Structure 1
Amino acid sequence: MKRIFLFAFVGLVALASCNQSAPEKTIANLKDGIKGETTASAKYSAFAQKAREEGYDTIAKLFDAASKAEMIHATNHTKVLTDLGVAMEAFNPEFEVKTTAENLQAAITGETYEIDSMYPRFLDDAKAEKVEKATKSFTWAMDTEKKHQSFYAASLEALNGAGEKTLPFEYFVCPVCGNTYDKATLEPKCGFCQTDQEKFIAI
């Protein structure tokens, strides 16, 4: 009797697993997030090169740091997607490089979209579909983009006014979540994931 009950229980669990739908919205959002963050990483690396060509080494440092952070976000999103049993399709990042002032404005526009629209929607879907790892990865990315947006805005203001000397020249990136600091705002542990400062990537 116990054996029959056990078989019946296992069968019900298997049936429930089969009927449980995949988190389709979150899967699609993870793929979009991977594309966006990978493209941003490549774009900011190109923006850094352009800034150096124009003599803006300090702004180039910021773009280098942001490029590293965006790749960490892409890697985190990819890990979540893989855990869901889904593979990411190959794609080629597409972007345009203009002057450093225009590139900073493009970066601000991109970060603003992610902060105000993209990641809030992704988070709503991940919470509704109960994908906790996606919620964490999206939150880390969105909170970092807020800092990047602020850094870019300050850089554009300096470029149009007081000059680069007013900007930080050293940045640090958390290797776990991508959180980005300048030297003046460093913390003993990452404010997002609690990783020790000693593990931060210096840019």
Structure 2
Amino acid sequence: MPAPRPMTLDALVSAFGGESMAHMRYLVFAEIAEREGFPNVARLFRAVAFAEQVHARNHFERLRGLDIEAKVVAGAPFGPGSTSENLEKAIRGEEFEVEEMYPAYIAVAEQQGEQQAALSFRWALEAEKTHAQLFRRAKEAVDRGEDLAVDGYVWVCPVCGHTHVGPEPPGRCPICGAPGDRYARF
């Protein structure tokens, strides 16, 4: 498969870096939430960390074998704080991806005819919308001094990173159509 055109390649590298950093940042945030007595918020952070790993893997698959220079993406502030502060950072990071980063990357990939990259970006965009909503719910609970109410588990689609909270995963992923029995449980 030929290398993507330069602007799409830059977008893929940037998205890979951003998703990789979000993955690690959310694992650190999970440890803090656990220490502060919010085990369900910690589970949410771990589940979304897995989803971010899925996004990074999808972007990396498109980059595999290409001779590229590593880049770092700017995004949400990195330093950890309290669970409430970390949730606010997570919300801002997800909103940046939804409102600015992925729409621009999709436009570039589509303009350059890079349909596989555009699909990877679209899947991540849709999953990030859910992540932002879940983090908002978690922050509201933490700011009341409560843990996030989780009825069952946090489920993550291993294909696109869609994240669902409930006793069972959806029958099919609403983003990529993967069967629900493939979802990872947290």
Instruction: Classify 1:87/1:53 alpha carbon distance in 2 versus 1 (closer, same or farther; 3 Å).
Output: same
Instruction: Classify 1:72/1:125 alpha carbon distance in 2 versus 1 (closer, same or farther; 3 Å).
Output: same
Name the amino acid aligned to 2:70.
E
Aligned position for 2:153? 170
Deviation for aligned residue 1:199: 1.1
The separation in 2 between residues aligned to 1:169 and 1:79, in whole angstroms, is 32
Name the amino acid aligned to 2:11.
N
Question: For structure 1, which segment, 158-167 or 144-153, has the greater mean C-alpha deviation from structure 2 after superposition?
Answer: 158-167
Q: Which of 137, 160, 164 is 1:181 aligned to? A: 164
Q: Does 1:65 align with 2:51?
A: no
Match runs of 1:17-36 below 5 Å: 23-36=5-18
Name the amino acid aligned to 2:81.
K
Instruction: Classify 1:127/1:99 alpha carbon distance in 2 versus 1 (closer, same or farther; 3 Å).
Output: same
TM-score (norm 1): 0.83
Q: Which of 6, 13, 24 is 1:42 aligned to? A: 24
Match runs of 1:130-145 below 5 Å: 130-145=113-128
Match runs of 1:86-101 below 5 Å: 86-87=67-68, 89=70, 95-101=78-84
Aligned position for 1:77? 59
Kept after mapping to 1: 8 A contact 2:155/2:165: yes
The separation in 2 between residues aligned to 1:78 and 1:125, in whole angstroms, is 17
Kept after mapping to 1: 8 A contact 2:4/2:114: no
Name the amino acid aligned to 1:115.
V
Kept after mapping to 1: 8 A contact 2:22/2:49: yes
Q: Does 1:52 align with 2:52?
A: no
Deviations 1:106-140 (A, max 9, x none): 00010111100000000000000000100110001
The separation in 2 between residues aligned to 1:151 and 1:185, in whole angstroms, is 17
Kept after mapping to 2: 8 A contact 1:61/1:169: no
Instruction: Classify 1:74/1:88 alpha carbon distance in 2 versus 1 (closer, same or farther; 3 Å).
Output: farther
Aligned position for 2:106? 123
The separation in 2 between residues aligned to 1:169 and 1:86, in whole angstroms, is 44
The separation in 2 between residues aligned to 1:187 and 1:169, in whole angstroms, is 13
TM-score (norm 2): 0.90
Higher helix share: 1
Q: Which of 121, 134, 142 is 1:159 aligned to? A: 142
Unaligned 5+ runs, structure 2: none
Instruction: Classify 1:188/1:88 alpha carbon distance in 2 versus 1 (closer, same or farther; 3 Å).
Output: farther
The root-mean-square deviation of aligned C-alpha atoms, in Å, is 2.3
Unaligned 5+ runs, structure 1: 1-19
Deviation for aligned residue 1:86: 4.0
How many residue pairs match? The answer is 182
